[in-house]
């Protein structure tokens, strides 16, 4: 049990997001996911925990916004400390450069949305999954409306994930 719990916790590592997402997509595409198999069941528990870990953007706007702001404030405090000690400021931690709306839009676009779209496929597009995706779309639109004017007029926005920068075109839907 200890090993299984450790494996579940390690699955929430954001740096392994693409690994888990690719594997889930393959299982769903090949229709070879068998929940009676202990390994497949454990994998889906890992996916469920990943979903639970990053589900904030799938909540109602008022709650999601409040928690998003708290998380970003934590990022900014880290960036302030890094600056104070003359260290390189970590991605998404520079409040002079990284706005809360742009951080949240990137997180939703590259992390949350792809995983929850596949989760919805797994659940047969259950009412709960569809509700979560609906909240996600609404919240992304809300954050877009709050983008600082300079980001709205710029054609590019960036999001840092898994040691890579992702560029998006603000003139297109995220």
pLDDT in tens, 141-173: 999 999 976 555 443 445 655 555 554 444 443
CB 174 within 8 A of CB 140: yes
- Least trusted range by pLDDT, from 22-36, 37-51, 144-158: 144-158
For the segment 69-75, the average pLDDT, to the nearest whole number, is: 98
Quick check: 116 pLDDT over 50?
yes
Q: Kindly report the pTM of this predicted structure.
A: 0.85
Crossing angle of helices 38-53 and 17-30, rounded to 10°: 130
Q: Output the pLDDT for position 148.
A: 74
H-state helical runs in the chain: 2-10, 17-30, 38-53, 61-84, 100-107, 113-122, 127-145, 149-153
End-to-end, the C-alpha distance of the chain in Å comes to 40
Q: Output the pLDDT for position 152.
A: 56
User: Residue 13 annotated as binding?
Assistant: no
* Integer Cα distance of 111 and 155 in angstroms: 21
Quick check: 174 pLDDT over 90?
no
C-alpha Rg value of the chain to the nearest Å:
17
Residue in the structure block whose two tokens are 């919805």: 120
Q: Output the pLDDT for position 20.
A: 98
Quick check: 93 pLDDT over 70?
yes
Across the chain, what does the average pLDDT equal? 90
Please state the length of the chain: 174
Each domain of the chain, given as residue ranges in start order, spans: 1-53, 57-174
For the segment 16-25, the average pLDDT, to the nearest whole number, is: 98
| Residue 89 DSSP class | P
* Integer Cα distance of 139 and 116 in angstroms: 14
Instruction: Please give the CATH number for the structural domain made up of 57-174.
Output: 1.10.1300.10
Distant-in-sequence, close-in-space partners of 63: CB < 8 Å, separation ≥ 6: 56
* Integer Cα distance of 75 and 95 in angstroms: 8
Q: Output the pLDDT for position 85.
A: 98
- Least trusted range by pLDDT, from 65-79, 106-120, 150-164: 150-164
Give percent of the chain with pLDDT exceeding 70: 85
């Amino acid at each position: 049990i200890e090993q299984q719990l450790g494996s579940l916790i390690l699955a929430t590592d954001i740096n392994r997001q693409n690994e888990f997402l690719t594997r889930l997509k393959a299982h769903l595409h090949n229709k070879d996911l068998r929940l009676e198999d202990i390994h497949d069941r454990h994998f889906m528990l890992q996916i469920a925990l990943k979903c639970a870990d990053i589900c904030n953007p799938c909540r109602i706007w008022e709650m999601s916004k409040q928690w998003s702001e708290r998380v970003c404030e934590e990022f900014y405090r880290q960036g302030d400390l890094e600056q104070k000690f003359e260290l390189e400021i970590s991605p998404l931690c520079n409040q002079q450069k990284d706005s809360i709306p742009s951080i949240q839009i990137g997180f939703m676009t590259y992390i949350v949305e792809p995983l929850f779209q596949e989760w919805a496929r797994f659940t047969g597009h259950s009412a709960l999954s569809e509700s979560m995706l609906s909240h996600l779309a609404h919240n992304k639109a809300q954050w877009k409306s709050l983008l600082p004017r300079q980001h709205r007029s710029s054609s590019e926005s960036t999001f840092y994930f898994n040691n890579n920068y992702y560029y998006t075109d603000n003139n297109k839907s995220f």
